[in-house]
Structure 1
Amino acid sequence: MKKLNYIIVLCTTLSLLSCEKFLDERSKSNLRIATTVSDFQSLLDNYSVMNYMDLSSAEMVAGDFYLTDADWASRAEQERRLYLWATSNVMDLTTNDWINMYNMVYRANTVIEGTPALHALNSVEWRSVLGQGYYYRAKSFLQLLGSYALAYDEAEENPGIPLRLDTDFNKPSVRASVKQGYQQLVADLHKAIPLLPVTAVHVMRPSKPAAHALLARAYLMMRKYEQAGLHADSCLQLKSNLIDYNTLNLSLTNPFVMFHPETIHYTRFQNPSSLSNIRAKISLEIINSYADGDLRKQAFYRLSNGAYAQRGSYSGETIPFGGLATDEVYLVRAESYARAGRLEAAMDDVNTLLKMRWDKRKSFIPYTANTKEAAINVVLLERRKELTLRGLRWSDIKRLNKEGRGISLSRTINGVTYTLPANSARFANPIPEGVINASGMAQNQY
């Protein structure tokens, strides 16, 4: 406990460089063979791997931000190509989302394989560590499927990702179907829920509310809205804090602190240079959607040189937040209610959230909806406004296009407009060529 708290304080007070150096040294110490519950916990407490490497490739292509011609030209070739939805050479061969996620999977599998030998302990700590292993494996699979595979569909057998369920490097990597991938991660999360504590030692560790929230997110991506709502509700029964944005100091560079009360599980993106708030400009479609009195526009964004950039992230840093927070969970439950025809309950959840985002000096007019379609549209609009640059839009577009929304994307560079049509096969990012060459797996087909 004292060691964990020391690490957290150190990482939040030292400079980024010294923090990364500290984490690298701690990573080396974790390479010893794990034999105790504490050893396995240390594997999962390596924050540089487990908390600071959320997949960013999905956000890079989701269309909520744009780059100027000059900023685009200054990026590495792979980033430039990914930004414009190229079908090859879009990721560095040695450091990329795929490698980072499977590093997390390997650590999770090490814990899942190793902790049963200690089952006689059956302690709170033992159960928590095993639950964290299942949670992190599911989280990694979900992010990989969200980026590198097409949308979930019960009737289709599209290629998904390799489901590495043990630490045996000798087993060949074979792509399971998208459906099999979701089935596996759902099963992992159902195993994690009874093992995890209601309140973790720190929000950098998974908890029972986090597993419910992640399962709600997964079911939403699967368009299984009833199950998404049930797990969103289970999460909110355990943790439902919302920040009153009137209490924030909106004059600060970032009004949000790390580990604030809405945080369920703290993770953030790997640091992709194109997503830096000095380069990524927010779509005017999003900026213009905020009404007068909505404090989110001021809390989230800043106007600089005629364009808006992210100002406040739930990470408390300049790097975007990719974790789980209660605002997302309220919106998942609201969408579930709306799709079930429970219009009043759906609007209650949306209005509960918005009241905490509204300038108290200005009149707040609650949302109402008279039809299911109207309620769904309200929730989807607020989801877009609340969860910008949170790593969710790419999956949202894919699932909504399955329902006929017809969302296409376009970006313009050097006077040339590039378009990604709705339901294009390119809504699955290319797997890094190095992985394809080494494994012999089939690449996504475009």
Structure 2
Amino acid sequence: MKNRSFIKNKLKLALLAPAVCFSLMLTSCEKDVVELDPFDRLTEASAFTTPERVELAVAGVYDAAQSGFYAGGAVRGYPFGAAHIEQGDNRGEDMLNLEAFYAITYGSTYNAASANNVYHFETLYSVINKANIVIEGVDKAVADGLITAEVGNAYSAEARFLRALSNHELLIHFARPYNHTADASHPGVPIRTIPVNTPARVEEARQQGRDSVRDGYAAILADLDYAETNLPETRAAGGKISRATKGAAIAMKSRVKLHMRDWQGVVTEGNKLISGTESFTSPIGGYALTASADGPWANNSGNSESIFSFMNTANDNASVNGSLGQMYNALPGGRALVAISPLIWNAEFWPADDDRRDITTTTARAIFSRKYRDAGTQSDWSPIIRYAEVLLNVAEAESRLGNNDRALALLNAVRGRSTDQTYTGLTGNALTQAIVNERRIEFVAEGMRWKDIHRLAKEGVFGPAGIPAKVASTSNHIPQYNAGSGTMPATTIPFIPYEDFRFIWPIPVSEVASNPVLAAQQNPGY
């Protein structure tokens, strides 16, 4: 397959019938055009009539995931171009919102009409529907003899990977965690596996309610199992980490099973990508930690550690109102709206001499991450999963299972490349806590914090039992920073307990207004 950035400049493709749309409520067809010039738009029927067009249809699902619509059709990185990171960070306490841009998310003052959560929901379902259209269209292309079954299975596997990624993102924001009930039978989100592309299917969608969290995770794992079986282990340089691979599917399964608290399942999946006892590498895909902590960021479009990321380029990005290079960047040209919080900067478990502190920029007001560096053209790729996460996923699972030595080795592999202050002798809860703490350091500014808060909150042992208290914005935070000191600034944005309705986002008003079943299943409190 050609490089996706090349494809996006070659064809304009609409994967839908003229009157049908892609969000769950299906309100505006303007949201559903994949911008690929210069041909006239193709109908869904013609999108799967040649091998080349089938390939472009698959590229369209990636494009929807990287640059979905916002109000008025603007691109702000929804859902995975940048928004999943920005929202995931601002729901937690380790990044510090400085301006009004993320104030609603940061302060948990959202409602069913708040733009950030509404567009996250709608664009995630847009990705899912486009994936479903591609899966159905690919099956027809195989049946018509346009492509081989092997090629078709690989294309469907890419669509299923993106569908699984989207469904999991929905579940961590709009539903309680897997362990909220003993059997995970509580409400999740609607799981859609057929395209909404005919009037009859539109009406069916308007009557579909929420599946259970248990069924949602089962659907995610089924998609990832299919992806693992049918995706290639490696790709050419242009799509090495921007297109799904077998390793990406396995890595995502290790994350999903961590959220399910299936500790042995995490180990089983992670072990497919781990060989060695002190210095770890992957027999699939050749993944390995980069030599330095800066390695994944000095070249974030291709390095040994990045397993899957979404491409952003100078010609195709989230714009200044959504890109990581603008929001997080205090280098010249950046808007510097989200800084690293003193809460994590001052944490005693983050050594003052840790090399990861050097991946930052200090201004007169605050300390900012320097993981994303291109404020000019916003070309920083959006990371989804790195090898460091796989190692820490398995480390936590091994610790939970009582396999202390291996858990400690995996933890120190990540920690040891950045600091000489590695851990020895930890066992039990102390070891698990050290691993969770290490995730906070390693994944700062990567949107991972909410994922961990969400999965750990019900247990209430290794993370806050709810939405954490946060530092409020002031004109000058610099006096509050004291690396590794354990001295914590005042948190004037208060803690919200897990039981509070604000722990999860509401189903958007646009959806409940169209679907009476969903209206009756709105998250309590909204």
Residue 265 of structure 1: aligned partner = 308
Provide the residue aligned with 2:403 in structure 1: 342
Deviations along 1:18-41, one digit per CA (max 9) or x if unpaired, are: xxxx97234975655322454333
Question: Structure 2, unaligned stretches of length 5 or more?
Answer: 11-32, 68-78, 196-200, 274-281, 313-317, 329-335, 475-490
Residue matched to 1:18: none
Is the Cα–Cα contact under 8 Å of residues 506 and 523 in structure 2 kept in the other structure? yes
The residue that corresponds to 2:514 in the other structure is 438
From 50, 57, 73, the equivalent of 1:43 is 57
Query: Relative to total residues, which structure has the larger helix share, 1 or 2?
Result: 1
Matches within 5 A, 1:413-432: 417-432=493-508
Partner residue in 2 for 1:83: 106
- Could you tell me which residue of structure 2 aligns to residue 218 of structure 1? 256
Which residue is equivalent to 1:183?
Answer: 218
Partner of 2:93: 63
State the distance in 2 between where 1:96 and 1:31 align: 25
1:308 aligns with 2:323: no
Which residue does 2:484 correspond to in 1?
Answer: none
Amino acid in structure 2 at the alignment position of 1:218: V
Q: Deviations over 1:58-97 (max 9, x none)?
A: 43322222223xx22xx3xxx5333321251453299711
Conserved? CA contact 1:132–1:206, under 8 Å: yes
TM-score, length-scaled by structure 1: 0.83
Contact 2:90–2:96, Cα closer than 8 Å, also in 1: no
SS class of match (1:337): helix
In 2, the alpha carbon distance for the partners of 1:205 and 1:221 equals 24
Give 3-state SS (helix, strand or coil) of 1:199's partner.
Answer: coil
Indicate the SS of the match to 1:161: coil
Q: Is the 8 A contact 1:274 1:280 kept in 2?
A: no
Q: Is the 8 A contact 1:257 1:315 kept in 2?
A: no
Deviation sequence 1:162-218 (CA, Å, 0-9, x none): 111101323133111112111111111112211111113412110100000111111
Instruction: Identify if the C-alpha distance between structure 1 residues 273 and 241 changes in structure 2 by more than 3 Å, giving closer, same or farther.
Output: same
1:226-305, aligned counterparts within 5 Å? 226-235=264-273, 236-239=282-285, 240-245=287-292, 255-267=298-310, 273=322, 276-277=327-328, 278-289=336-347, 290-299=350-359, 301-305=360-364
Distance 1:139 1:367 in 2: 33
More displaced 10-residue stretch of structure 1: 190-199 or 306-315: 306-315
* 8 A contact 2:306–2:383 mirrored in 1: no
SS at 2:446's partner residue?
coil
- C-alpha separation between the residues in 1 aligned to 2:495 and 2:257? 29
1:30 and 1:243 mapped to 2: Cα distance? 43
2:309 and 2:384 in contact (8 A); partners too: yes
- Cα deviation, 1:366-408, whole Å, max 9, x if unaligned, reads 3223422122112111111111232322221122122232434
Q: Secondary structure at the match of 1:309?
A: strand
2:412 corresponds, among 332, 341, 351, to 351
Q: Helix, strand or coil for the counterpart of 2:192?
A: coil
Indicate conservation of the 8 Å contact 1:145/1:161, yes or no. yes
1:193 pairs with 2:248: no
Contact 1:244/1:357 (8 A) holds in 2: no
Q: Distance in 2 between matches of 1:247 and 1:419?
A: 33
Q: 1:308 to 1:166 in 2, by over 3 A?
A: same
State the one-letter code of the partner of 1:211: A
465, 489, 512: which one aligns with 1:407: 465
TM-fit CA distance, 1:351: 1.7
Could you say which residue in structure 2 is the equivalent of 1:142?
168
Q: CA distance change for structure 1 residues 86 and 308 in 2, over 3 Å: closer, same or farther?
A: same
Residue matched to 2:441: 385
In structure 2, what is the Cα distance between the partners aligned to 1:246 and 1:162? 39
Moved more, 376-385 or 387-396: 387-396
State the aligned residue count: 418
Tell me how far apart the structure 1 counterparts of residues 450 and 505 of structure 2 sit (CA, whole Å). 10
Counterpart of 1:208, as a letter, is K
Aligned match for 2:246, one of 208, 211, 219: 208
- Residue pair 2:92, 2:106 contacting (<8 A) in 1 also: no
Percentage of identical aligned residues: 23
C-alpha distance in 2, partners of 1:151/1:268? 29
Contact 1:331-1:379 within 8 A present in 2 as well = yes
Match of 2:203 in 1: 170
Q: Distance in 1 between matches of 2:509 and 2:300?
A: 38
> CA separation in 2, counterparts of 1:280 and 1:343?
36
Instruction: Give the equivalent residue in structure 2 for 1:376.
Output: 432
Partners of 2:96 and 2:298 in 1: how far apart? 23
- Partners of 2:373 and 2:392 in 1: how far apart? 16
Alpha-carbon separation, structure 2, partners of 1:378 and 1:279: 30
Contact 2:497 2:503 (C-alpha < 8 Å) held by counterparts: no
CA RMSD of aligned residues (A): 3.2
Per the alignment, do residues 385 and 374 of structure 1 end up closer, same or farther by CA in structure 2, a change over 3 Å counting? same
Q: Distance in 2 between matches of 1:111 and 1:348?
A: 42
Contact 1:45 1:205 in 2 (8 A): no
Matched residue of 1:281: which SS?
A: strand
State the distance in 2 between where 1:386 and 1:314 align.
Answer: 18
Report the Cα offset of residue 109 of structure 1: 0.5
- Structure 2: distance between partners of 1:218 and 1:84: 27
What SS is found at the alignment partner of 1:200? coil
Which stretch shifts more, 430-439 or 377-386? Answer: 430-439
